[in-house]
Amino acid sequence: MTSVGNLLRSARESQGLDITEIAEGLCIQSRYLRAIEDDDFKSLPGTFFYKSFLKQYAAALGVPEQHLQPGIESVVEAEHLPLPPTQAVASPIRQLDPIVQASNRDYFTDRKLGIPVAVLGAVILTCSGFYSWWNRPVEPRAPLQQAVNQHPETQPAVVSPATSATSEPLPLTTPALTEQTAGVVLSLSATERTWLSVSSAGKEVFAGILQPGETKTLTGLEAARMKVGNAGGIEIHWNGKPVGPIGASGQVKTIVFTPDNLEILEPSGDATL
């Protein structure tokens, strides 16, 4: 029986066609068409491409497919026959030696296990170090605590002279406080813009304008004379005692203060202190 390849070659040669031109028209490499004509199935990429290329080649040459079908099946069956036992034993060349396979498996297994074990070991060492630091002995603090406890015993010997030295001048400050409280102390708080003039012993001790919320305190005065330009815009405390309203807003008032008394003078009754 004539093979498929011989039938196709005879058809091409009888028509005077060049195999290269047919390959370009079918967009198939010419070496595959030559392999089909030579019945060289091993040079083709596989059964599927063999059948596909062959059908296209036969159609281009005008050869009916049914004339080629028996030959196609015989070629495909021949290429898929099982190998003899001797060849089947000699064919496996990709298997590795069992010893090499075992060593490679152990190597990758050891690497996979080694990383978690190393990390776990580092964590254990870190925790152990922290635990040892946390539970370290605190005996070195005992001398410091003992020194602190001994400090109060030496304190009376050092502080006692200073205490006795500072306690002696206290009687000297008492007369000064007595003299200050025996004079006149004025605390002036403005609720409105107010002009003030305060004199004592014939000398002016203060003169100026107080803005709302501003306060002025005068101490150490034997007696005082104060003139207010806005009687309703000021609050007065005399020796710590509040003085009631001295007049309405805009009124001019004059007040005389002594340690024991105060007097609001009429405009015609001004006197000099």
Residue 10 in any domain: the answer is yes
User: In this predicted model, which residue has the larger pLDDT, 63 or 122?
Assistant: 63
By residue count, the chain amounts to: 273
Q: How confident is the model at residue 18 (pLDDT cuts 50, 70, 90)?
A: very high
Residue 202 in any domain: the answer is yes
pLDDT of residue 89: 36
Sheet holding 262-265, edge to edge: 203-210, 194-200, 224-228, 253-257, 262-265
Q: How confident is the model at residue 2 (pLDDT cuts 50, 70, 90)?
A: confident
Residue 119 in any domain: the answer is no
User: Which pLDDT tens digit goes with each residue over 25-46?
Assistant: 999 999 999 988 888 888 888 8
Q: Given a cut of 50, is residue 163 above it in pLDDT?
A: no
Count CB-CB contacts under 10 A for residue 55: 14
Q: Give the end of a domain, one of 79, 102, 121.
A: 79
Residue 98 in any domain: the answer is no
Q: Give the end of a domain, one of 79, 96, 120.
A: 79
Q: How confident is the model at residue 68 (pLDDT cuts 50, 70, 90)?
A: confident
Angle at CA of residue 186, ends 182 and 190, nearest 5°: 170
Q: How confident is the model at residue 83 (pLDDT cuts 50, 70, 90)?
A: very low
Q: How confident is the model at residue 117 (pLDDT cuts 50, 70, 90)?
A: low
Q: How confident is the model at residue 164 (pLDDT cuts 50, 70, 90)?
A: very low
d(CA 130, CA 254): 82
Q: Give the end of a domain, one of 27, 53, 79.
A: 79
pTM confidence score: 0.34
Count CB-CB contacts under 10 A for residue 207: 11
d(CA 267, CA 200): 19
Least confident piece of the model among 11-20, 37-46, 143-152: 143-152
Closest CA to 199 of 239, 227, 235: 227
Reported as type and span, the H/E element at residue 220 is strand 215-221
Residue 203 in any domain: the answer is yes
Q: Given a cut of 80, is residue 272 above it in pLDDT?
A: no
pLDDT of residue 133: 61
User: Which pLDDT tens digit goes with each residue over 195-234?
Assistant: 989 999 889 989 999 999 999 999 989 899 999 999 898 9
What's the structural domain count of the chain?
Answer: 2
Residue 126 in any domain: the answer is no
Residue 97 in any domain: the answer is no
For residue 231, what are the domain limits? 179-269
Closest CA to 238 of 253, 251, 225, 252: 225
Reported as type and span, the H/E element at residue 10 is helix 4-14
pLDDT of residue 20: 93
**Highest-scoring range by mean pLDDT, 91-95, 111-115, 126-130, 186-190:** 186-190
Q: Given a cut of 70, is residue 99 above it in pLDDT?
A: no
The average pLDDT across 239-261 equals 91
pLDDT of residue 44: 86
**Distances in whole angstroms, Cα of residue 240 to Cα of each of 109, 181, 237:** 95, 10, 5
Phi first, then psi, for residue 220 (nearest 5°) are 70, 30
| Residue 100 Cα to chain centre, angstroms | 52
User: In this predicted model, which residue has the larger pLDDT, 84 or 66?
Assistant: 66
**Three-class secondary structure of residue 43 per DSSP:** helix
With pLDDT > 70 as the criterion, what percentage of the chain qualifies?
Answer: 59
pLDDT of residue 88: 40
pLDDT of residue 269: 45
- The CATH number of the domain where 40 resides is what? 1.10.260.40
Residue 243 in any domain: the answer is yes
> What are the start-end ranges of the H helices in 62-204?
65-79, 85-90, 98-134, 141-167, 170-182
